[in-house]
Amino acid sequence: MENNKQYNILIVDDELQARRLLTAYVEKINTLNLVGATHNVIDAKAIMQKNKVDIILLDIHMPEISGLEFARSLKQKIEVIFTTAYSEYALEGFDLNITDYLIKPIAFNRFFQAISKATDRLVMNHTLSEKENNINSEEAQTDNHIIIRADHKIYKVNYSDLIYIEGQREYVTFHTTTRRITAYYSLKKLEEELPSNLFVRIHKSYIVSLKQIEIVETGGVIINRQSIPIGKNYRNALMDKF
């Protein structure tokens, strides 16, 4: 943890002793600024509405709304560190792209390691954002590709290589000629941003490349030897362009 930037941290744990211990640990690290320590998710959301939060120390087992449910609901890019006495939830936590997983009782050196990992990720994400902004600025006049940010990487995908996009709740998967990229994007926003002469939305869960369509059938299209459904509300838009 070499940088001197201050990071706002929030503690969410229904155990008073755990909150006290984590608060004491936070106060030992001068790059952390504690914006709140609460016993439930409802209060945590209220704190987050008033404060920018960079890191959350989040217990899994809490009344009403669990830490897992709360982590799934987060829209902001926040580093989440789970704190719990139950190790069996570690795998599910990492599937949610959780920063780290601390098993109680938590030693300070293990806590410091998790915080260091979180701040390193925050620095890396900030650097990637700056690079992405530079790329978008420098290549604003070249409208032949899309910039995709995913998994702490930046991908430049030419429109000609983009086969179709599949929506999956808050995420989308870009199917290209060389790889699949899953990222946090809105399918509706992509529909608005992609050139309408090259791409068309054919279903609530799919945007396809017009040039990649091989066959249009009654209920779907064939692209890259795969059948993709056509939603009844999108068929006319497809036929107008195809």
Is 15 found in the same domain as 106? yes
pLDDT digits (tens, 9 = 90+) for 169-181: 778 999 999 999 9
Q: Are the C-beta atoms of residues 106 and 95 closer than 8 Å to each other?
A: no
Residue after which a domain boundary falls, among 100, 132, 164:
132
Strand-strand pairing, 206-209 and 162-168: antiparallel
Query: 120 and 217 in one domain?
Result: no
Please, which residues have CB within 8 angstroms of residue 9's CB and are 6 or more apart in sequence?
A: 26, 32, 33, 34, 35, 53, 54, 55, 56, 57
CA dihedral 115, 119, 124, 125 (to 10 degrees): 100
If one counts the domains in the chain, the total is: 2
Cβ atoms of 91 and 98 closer than 8 Å: no
Per-residue pLDDT of 6-54, as tens digits, reads: 999 999 999 999 999 999 999 999 999 999 999 999 999 999 999 999 9
Range of the domain at 223: 145-241
15 falls within a domain:
yes
- Whether 2 is covered by a domain: the verdict is no
The Cα–Cα gap between 81 and 111 comes to: 10
Considering the domain boundaries, does residue 194 fall inside one? yes
Same domain, 157 and 95: no
